[in-house]
Amino acid sequence: MKRFLCLLLALSALSAAAQRNTIAISDLPHLPSDTLPTDRPNVQIILYTDNTFRYLFTNADSLSRTELYASHWDTTGIFAYRDISLQSLPPTIEIHVIDRYDGFHFPRTGQIVSRYGLRGRRNHNGIDIALRTGDPIHAAFDGRVRYSRYNMGGFGNLVIIRHTNGLESYYGHLSRRNVKAGDFVKAGQVIGYGGSTGRSRGPHLHFELRYADQAFDPERLIDFTSGQLRYQTFLLERSFFNIRSRAVEGLEEEDDSFDIEALMAANEIPEDGTLSEEIIRAIEEKELKAKEAEAAAKAAKYHTIRSGDTLLGLALKYGTTVDKICKLNGISRNTTLRIGRKLRIQ
Ligand SMILES: [Zn+2]
């Protein structure tokens, strides 16, 4: 009888699963109600009390992680996936950023001094967070240190961690590294201390997130002001790997021809600090843009999902489009709207 009940539960769970293609971990209740075998030896189904289910890869630690940390494992180079081209990546990659076993911790919160994007004619593949030398830097997710060295290419003391969620995170300009290649780390572990080593004009953390060597804007996933993770299941679009594809809307069209940091880096701003009219105007413009972006962030509107809500219904209600809502929240049209979840509307 118990078996029969299990089967019924599994069937209803499967039909529920057919209606959606992503499972947000936050949506899952914390207590599994039962487990079921499958025809694959290392895979079990965990059933939850609300009839949702999830595959459990038994021995996942020893199987998938061995693979994850064995192939493309390079402890001397900053890139490890040179044979995988950008074009060969799928258009959308579903990243289970955290799950019941693996957590998140912000690497460092603080003032953002430079965002992902073009910096003059150079790419800035990460985000710069201001800090004081010696401030602790935390591993963002669970994983294994792939690289911990002094990098001559400009990163200074650099730690790269490969995470169980498939992403790699880069932590540059550290004053001290606390870990060595091969070390397993937990989210939140102090992997080093902030500094200004390498090509750096002052103490800050240079932080990157990459998938198969391809960088995307870390602000898509992490709010560096509050220290919050934005998504637990994240749909990583191949288009995000474009340096012009930024998380903050409105910044994509930014004219970088007067990027102050680029000018400073190129020593086009003299040591004595005298600024030309042109540069003063550029600074003022930059400050104005920052104020506008702040105002836009304050104007953000949220909706808490109630029973019966649909993406189309919300789009009509708030005079927006399904595409815009999906983009703001990093979800797809097929994502199940769980009651109680907060969606950003504008
Ligand atoms: Zn940087």
Using the mean position of ligand 1's atoms as its centre, give its distance from the Cα of residue 133 in Å: 16
CA proximity to 56, closest of 69, 68, 70, 38: 38
CA of 109 relative to ligand 1 center, distance in Å:
15
Highest mean pLDDT among 18-32, 209-223, 285-299: 209-223
Angle at CA of residue 155, ends 90 and 93, nearest 5°: 10
Superfamily of domain 302-344: LysM domain (3.10.350.10)
H runs (alpha helix) in 180-271: 260-265
- Cα of 115 from ligand 1 centre, angstroms: 8
**What pLDDT sits at residue 261?**
54
Q: Label residue 299 exposed, middle or buried (CB < 10 Å: 0-12, 13-18, 19+).
A: exposed
| CB crowding 232-264: b at 16 or more within 10 Å, else e | bbbbbbbebbebebbbbeebeebeeeebbbbbe
- The most confident of the ranges 28-32, 201-205, 258-262 is 201-205
Rounded CA-CA distance 251/274 in Å is 28
Check whether domain 62-254 has CATH 3.20.20.140, yes or no = no
Within 49-126, residue ranges assigned H as helices are 60-70
Of residues 75 and 93, the one with the higher pLDDT is 75
pLDDT band at 15 (very low <50, low <70, confident <90, very high): very low
Task: Give the percent of the chain with pLDDT over 90.
Answer: 40
Q: How many CB atoms lie within 10 A of CB 110?
A: 18
For residue 29, report the distance from its CA to the centre of ligand 1, in Å: 39
- Rounded to the nearest angstrom, the distance between the alpha carbon of 300 and the centre of ligand 1 is 27
Show me where the domains of the chain are located: 2-58, 62-254, 256-286, 302-344
Give burial (CB, 10 Å; 0-12/13-18/19+) of 22.
middle
342: tokens are 């907060």
**Measured between alpha carbons, how far is 56 from 170 in angstroms, rounded to an integer?**
29
Q: How far is the CA of 277 from the centre of ligand 1 (A)?
A: 27
Q: 64: pLDDT confidence band, cut at 50, 70 and 90?
A: low
**Cα of 199 to ligand 1 centre, how many Å?**
9
Lowest mean pLDDT among 42-46, 167-171, 199-203: 42-46
Residue 206 CA to ligand 1 center (angstroms) comes to: 4
Q: Residues 6 or more apart from 274 whose CB is under 8 A from it? A: none
Residue 45: DSSP 8-state: E
Beta bridge partners of 100: none
**pLDDT over 70 at 16, yes or no:** no
Give whichever of 38-52, 227-241, 324-338 has the largest mean pLDDT. Answer: 227-241
Å from CA of 228 to ligand 1 middle: 20
Nearest CA to 35 out of 18, 12, 11, 10 is that of 10
102: nearest Cα among 155, 151, 158, 143 = 143
CA of 127 to the centre of ligand 1 (A): 5
Write the CA distances from 141 to 25, 103, 227, 339, integer angstroms: 15, 6, 13, 27
CA 268 distance to own-chain centroid: 34
Whose tokens are 């189309």? That residue is 312
Please report, to the nearest 10 degrees, the dihedral formed by the alpha carbons of residues 178, 181, 187, 191 taken in order.
Answer: 10
* Whole-prediction pTM: 0.58
Q: What is the pLDDT of residue 98?
A: 87
